[in-house]
Amino acid sequence: MKSYTKSFISFSLFLILLISTISSTKAQEYMPIAVEGTHWIVALNKIETEYPVDGLWEYYANGDTVVDSQEYKKIYYRNLVITQDGPPYEAASPYHLTHLLRDDIDARKAFVYAIDFNIGECDINEEVLLYDFSLSEGDIVDFCLFPDWIDGSIGSINNIQFLGKNTSSFEIDCGSEVIYYEGIGSNYGLFEFMFTPYKKDAKYTEYTFLTDYCVSDDCELFLGNNDIANNSQQVSCYPNPSDGYFSFDQLNRYIGSSIFIYDVFGRFVDEIKIHNQKVVWNSKNIESGIYFYKIADGNTQITGQLSIK
């Protein structure tokens, strides 16, 4: 009887320890993607060509902004000079703001607000789910970077090191190697569609891949600096279309100037003074339709189109 009791107690302690371990694993601190100063290098490989790198670009997290009361990290994009040798890379174009990224730490999810070009099945000018790190093995995958016409579920979750970072990998069971990583992105990139195009003969034609990742401006990935103000001449306007407010961003070089709004007939509508790198225009009292904005600074002139819902 004593032996039975002792065995029962030992087994109970084992169960308590096991449950505690599982709970601790589930409760591990979430690793956010939207971290200041992070760089992602993505390469394109066209299978028909001789070399593995046929395109090369960078995403760069720099600064914060607020849209609809949500705080986002601003993500800049630029093309890099194509090389087969790896870093250091050389810029082929200036930075321009393309996406806003935020983490919901409690929900273990990452969201994107595309303000320039859409990605995969992610809509533009609205917030959509980019990655879901709350899933467990067997759960169905349903976020905009993964094709909705492909049935996919989480096949396995593992603790690994990827591109120099200890992280959790989520392998999608869909007949192809598709993996995304907490705090990093996917094996296809950060914003790249998690799908490889195929020809009718079942041979893939091209694919993207995340080749470098660094959470620092001192990681020696680049020739030259990464200063946004000196490298980017783009002005971003979002959301567009909008039914209330337009945010104009990256206005550093235009501080002291104005944004002029005109209707489709060229008639003056409004003037917004530029006092900071970002200004917000309230269009609630303006009739719906298409409008144009103009910003002038010496010999430089920026124009764009606005759509008021």
The class of domain 235-308 in CATH terms is: mainly beta
* pTM for this entry: 0.74
By C-alpha distance, which of 259, 267, 263 is closest to 291? Answer: 263
pLDDT tens digits along 64-73: 888 878 899 9
Location of each CATH 2.60.40.3080 domain in the chain = 235-308
pLDDT for residue 232 is more than 50:
no
Average pLDDT, integer, range 112-131: 86
Q: Residue 80 contacts by C-beta under 8 Å, 6 or more apart in sequence?
A: 41, 56, 57, 58, 89, 90, 91, 92
In this prediction, residues 202-215 reach a mean pLDDT of 87
pLDDT (tens digit, 9 = 90+) per residue, 166-194? Answer: 999 999 999 889 999 999 999 999 999 99
Q: Is a pLDDT exceeding 70 seen at residue 300?
A: no
Most confident of 34-43, 256-265, 297-306: 34-43
Q: Are strands 289-297 and 300-308 parallel, antiparallel or unpaired?
A: antiparallel
136 compared with 250, residue with greater pLDDT: 136
Average pLDDT for 253-260: 88
pLDDT tens per residue across span 276-293: 888 999 998 899 988 988
Contact 160, 184 (CB under 8 A): no
In whole angstroms, what is the distance from residue 263 CA to residue 289 CA?
A: 8
Q: State the residue for tokens 């430089």.
A: 300
Q: Residue 165 is encoded by which pair of tokens?
A: 């970072």
Q: 29 vs 24, 182, 305, CA distance in Å? A: 10, 11, 43
Q: Which pLDDT belongs to residue 303?
A: 79
pLDDT at 224 over 80: no
Higher pLDDT, 45 or 266: 45
- For the cut 70, the answer to whether the pLDDT of residue 18 exceeds it is no
Amino acid at 167: T
- The pLDDT of 257-273, averaged and rounded, is 89
pLDDT of 21 over the 50 cut? no
pLDDT of residue 269: 94
Cα separation values, 124 from 42, 110, 117, 129, 140, Å: 21, 16, 7, 12, 24
